[in-house]
Structure 1
Amino acid sequence: MQTNFTLAQLADPQVAVSEKILRACVHCGFCTATCPTYVLLGDELDSPRGRIYLIKEMLEQDRPATREVAKHIDRCLSCLSCMTTCPSGVHYMHLVDHARDHIEKTYKRPLADRFMRGLLAKVLPNPSLFRLAVVAGWLGKPFAPVLRAVGLTRLAAMLKLSPAKLPAPPAETGKVFPAQGPRRGRVALLAGCINPVLSPSINDAAIRVLNRNGIEVVVAAGEACCGSLSHHMGREDEALAFARNDVDAWTREIDGEGLDAILITVSGCGTTVKDYGFMLRTDSAYAEKAKRVSALTKDVSEYLSTLNLPAAEAPAPLTIAYHSACSLQHGQKVVREPKDLLCKFGFIVKDVPEGHLCCGSAGTYNLLQPTLADQLRDRKVANIERLQPDVIAAGNIGCITQIATGTAIPVVHTVELIDWATGGPMPEPLRKLEALTSA
Structure 2
Amino acid sequence: MSAPIPIVGLGGRTDHIATVPHLDPARLQLSPEEGSVLALVGRVERIDAVLSRSSLGEARTIAVLLALRAKGAIVPARVVQRAPSAAPAVDASMAEEVDLDPDQKRDIIEMERSLERMDHHAVLGVARGASPQEVKQAYYNASRRFHPDRYFGKNLGSFRARLERIFKRLTDAHNALSRQEPTRAPDAPPAPAARVPTTPPPAAAPPRTVSGSNFAAMMPPSVSGARPPSGSFATVPPPAASPPDDAESEARRAERQARFARHPYMARSHKLTELIARGRAATARGDFERAYQDFNHVLGLDPKNREVAQLLVEARRKHDLTRAQAEVERGQELEMRGDFAGAQAAYRLAVSLNGDNPEAAFQAARVGRELAQDAQEVMKLAQRAVELKPGRADYQLLLAHVLLVAGQKKQAKHHFEEVVRLDPDNADARAALKKLRWTFT
Shorter-chain TM range is under 0.3
Q: Normalising by structure 2, what TM-score?
A: 0.25
Question: Whose helix proportion is higher, 1 or 2?
Answer: 2
Tell which has more relative contact order, 1 or 2 (C-alpha 8 A, sep 6+): 1
